[in-house]
Structure 1
């Protein structure tokens, strides 16, 4: 008789992270595992023995479908950095004691780069100690910066929302263009990789010219050149819309957001909390040119818009969740499931499995050849890469005019900082 599965969610959530959770649950049950436990607030909560039996919440197909349509992390998430084995062996001893207590055979972590680092460390410890558990990573991140995999679940839906929102910002700005010039700057998530901000180029369609400028963190940002570029464009048109990544940096490596007033705190992994890039640039343009400016920061809306999720994204997220269980059930450990692109037209993908050591702490950036020579827009190759990932729609279950979500009543959310 098989034992149990333990699954957790970590890092920033996405619109489809729970579709992967649904895939884990369904496949584990189909493959004969007794229980599927969910870690509350990731590995951090698990160390405090916070976990639930998912069968108490997913009791039928309707609730499974509702979970797939629920944004954010159903189980709760965390940004907890597991130490290296030699730094604190007691932490690992505690984790594995809890795994034995719950008769866990399979440990699955849904997350991004830092989460795959957790899988790496736990699988290495299991090898050192001869532990029976198998550890498999399930990819998730709107940033699309995981190595090896063609793309990550969560990115397609975020790109779809960003492109749609960009069209709406442009439409709104044009409505105020009569005898007035204005500059609108949209700030998009992305610390070091510009996949998300590049998705604003999808707004360029028959009914929309798209943004005028797009700045990715892969290319150094020249503030003076930016102001000159905006000034030149304003001589030709009344409305300018620029999209900037929150992580754009000057040639000396300083984040533009750090040039604004106010301190920026750091998370457990040493990442500064980024905000204020668009506001700083909008203020600068207003000061220099004396025209109306507006800063639009999409912030967490980019990762929570399940009402505009891509069907391709939802389906792939569900598939990779199931594939993690399949991989572990067939003996794999210390691996991450990846998506391989088979073709663009028609779009087809397949699922593979790769050593997590090749993925953890890596970072996939936008190729420089997919950014124009001036560094202020993306190329057609970039658009062709992203476009298949935003296709289709996954209709929410509407109640009283609003989407219904599957939720878990839980106190003490403030104990775990997201």
Structure 2
């Protein structure tokens, strides 16, 4: 590499996104990049000329290792939707002016669906205008909903945390017996895709029966049917644990969480903020049956729990970061690195690059055949798909009994 590299992070954080950043930095340096810049708060920060020279912050191998073990987005993130080129050309002129000034050869963006939309638009503009900068997407999202890749970095660690937490919740729920029973509803992230919620099935094993019911957003949620199933389960056992996706919705399209509270907040991409699904269902069950209920919302815990990260996930996140730099160095543009599963047993995965136009703004959902006929649980195929992704542990670097993170006071 003769020029400089710039890297940014976008969208929701994960336990593995910084491992991709470490992979980008290390590979860019190994390939001779002069400088590796980090955008602060993604493309939004770049437009305000907010960036750092990463070599001033990653000064040795320990810093790089700490970065890989640090959750959330080290550089800061954003949810900014680039306008269409014909709508606002000035935005693009401004971005490319900054990239020109910094002598950027490769622009790497680590993110999910909306971030790939950014890569698509910037690479299109570069090609049309004859700019030499190459734009490569690096996959990241706990939602695991990016097209053309077997899975996304960030998902394995979130799935491991969900499986672990649901198992602990089940263990806890059997401690006390209530006269009319206990129903615990665990709310897991996922607007349209149920990959995370399905991971609750990982709690099931020789020492644990697993959750009783799992509801994914891919299928319509029937409130009456749900109620009947809860009543039937309480006839057989004293404690019932249900995993639900935050995005489960009724036949008329309303989200279940909208039944209980006003969902007013809408982000830059037009997504409603979903919260309160478990709270609504727990209250509904309590009113109908009069039993003890609990609502547990995993919320940001499932994406920030680096103490429960998957080794496979952290290694693959670093690998896709490196592969993104390699692709740019070898002349690719407007592409995203994807993971291609070679085998399940032993688990093997390699990287490839695919056209970002076929990935941006597309959503990969859980296949219907990976959910049981009733729509109340995932199948063995789903579990076989996710199990290899949660293998191994990454020990945090402990200082005074608490994990040490790589921190830069810029936020």
Match of 1:102 in 2: 102
| 1:141 and 2:141 are equivalent in the alignment | yes
- Determine the structure 1 residue equivalent to 2:216: 216
Contact 1:218 1:365 in 2 (8 A): yes
Deviation at 1:178, TM superposition (A): 5.7
Runs (4+) off by over 4 Å: none
What SS is found at the alignment partner of 1:274? coil
Per-residue CA distance 1:257-301 (angstroms, 9 max, x = gap): 111123330000000111000000000000010010000000000
Q: Tell me what 1:177 maps to.
A: 177
Matched, 1:159 2:126: no
- Tell me the SS of whatever aligns to 2:243: strand
Structure 1 residue 252, shift from structure 2 partner = 1.1
Q: Distance in 2 between matches of 1:181 and 1:230?
A: 10
Say how many residue pairs are matched. Answer: 411
- Segment of structure 1 superposing worse, 148-157 or 251-260: 251-260
Residues in 1 aligned to 2:89 and 2:347: alpha-carbon distance in whole angstroms: 46
- Judge conservation of contact 2:263–2:273 (CA < 8 Å) in 1: no
Which residue pairs with 1:45 in the alignment?
Answer: 45
Aligned to 1:416: none
Cα distance per residue 1:334-386 (max 9 Å; x no partner):
00000000000000001000000000000000000000000010000000000
Question: Helix, strand or coil for the counterpart of 1:184?
Answer: strand
Mapped partners of 2:117, 2:263: distance in 1:
28
> What SS does structure 2 have at the residue aligned with 1:170?
helix
Matched with 2:324 is: 324
What's the secondary structure of 1:293's corresponding residue? strand
> Cα deviation per residue 1:62-110 (whole Å; 9 max; x = unaligned)?
1000000000000000000000101100000000000000010100000
Preserved contact between residue 180 and residue 290 of structure 2 (Cα < 8 Å):
no
Give the secondary-structure state (helix, strand or coil) at the position aligned to 1:235: helix
Name the SS of the counterpart of 1:283 in structure 2. helix
2:190 pairs with 1:190 = yes
Given that 2:185 and 2:282 are in contact with CA atoms closer than 8 Å, whether structure 1 keeps it comes out as yes
Match in the other structure for 2:24: 24
Instruction: Indicate conservation of the 8 Å contact 1:155/1:196, yes or no.
Output: yes
C-alpha RMSD over aligned residues? 0.8
TM-score, with structure 1 as normaliser = 0.97
Q: Is the 8 A contact 1:338 1:354 kept in 2?
A: yes
What TM-score comes out, normalization by structure 2 length?
A: 0.99
**Does the 8 Å contact 1:264/1:274 carry over to 2?**
no
